[in-house]
Amino acid sequence: IRLWDVRTGDCVRILEGHTKTINSASFSPDGKFILSSSFDKTIRLWDVRTGDCVRILEGHTKTINSASFSPDGKFILSSSFDKTIRLWDVRTGDCVRILEGHARGVTSAVFSPDGKYILSLSFDNTVRLWDTKSGKNIKTIDRPSGDICSADFSPNGQYIISVLLNKNIIIWDINTGNNIQVYEGHTSVVNYATFSPNGKHIISTSFDKTIRLWDFLSLQEIIDDTQKKFKNNPLTNSERREYFLE
C-alpha cells in the first residue's frame, strides 16, 4: 500500500505485510488509520503516522473483497467470497456479528451514511439491506435486470445506485425497492458509479474509456417534473403508474 503526498506527488510511505493481492484501502474517518483487505483473507489496520500494522483481523475463510469503516469509525465492515459479511470492533479487533443470507460470494458491503444500515452485493445477483444493530436482512432486491457490478448509498441514504454489466446505471428507492431511474449512454461495461457529495450529480466510469457526469433527480423531482410536462394533457391510469404519480 502506498501513501502519496497530494501536493508534491511523492510517495511518502509504503505499507507492507499482506501476502497476496490487496483489493481495497481506505482512511478512517479521522484520518489516523488506514484499512486494507486482501486475497490473503486478512484485514489490516495501519497507523498513518508510523506506518505500523496495529491490528490484523482474521475470520473469513475465503478472499475478502471489501473492507470499510463505519461513519463513526468504531466498526469495520467486510465482505467475502465465503458468502458472509462481518462486523468488527475497531478497538478490540473482535468480530461482533456475522451476516448470512447470500447464496454466493459477497462482492461488496457498505454502511449507510448514518451507519444504521448495511448494503451488500453478491454474485447471487441480489442487493440486500441489513439493519446494523440487529443484523437482520430487512430488504432484498432480487434478480434485477442484469448482473450487478457495484452498489452504494446516496448521500442522504434514500437511494441506492447500482452498476450493471449491461452498461446501465440504475437508481433504486430504498423504501420501496423500486427502480426509479436508468442512466444509459456508455457503450461498454460500466465498472463504477457514485453520487457527488451533495447528491445532485452522478459520476461513472466505463470500459469504453469515458467518464460521464450525470444530473440526478430525486423521486419527488421526477414527479414534479412529470406533472409540469403533462399538466395540460391528462394521463391514463397506466401512464400515471409508469411515472410514479400513483
Distance CA 6, CA 26 (A): 15
pLDDT tens for residues 4-61? 999 999 999 999 999 999 999 999 999 999 999 999 999 999 999 999 999 999 999 9
Place of cell 442512466: 183
Place of cell 462482492: 107
Tell me, what's the pLDDT at 228? 61
Q: What is the pTM of this model?
A: 0.79
Give the residue from 127, 90, 136 showing the smallest Cα distance to 109: 127
Tell me, what's the pLDDT at 191? 85
Other C-beta atoms within 10 Å of 100: how many?
A: 11
User: Residue 120 in contact with residue 162, Cβ under 8 Å?
Assistant: no
Whole-number Cα distances in Å, 49 to 1, 24, 30, 46, 221: 14, 20, 12, 9, 45
Place of cell 461513519: 71
Mean pLDDT by 10 residues, the chain (246 residues): 96 96 95 96 96 96 95 96 97 96 93 95 89 94 68 90 83 84 89 89 91 77 56 62 51
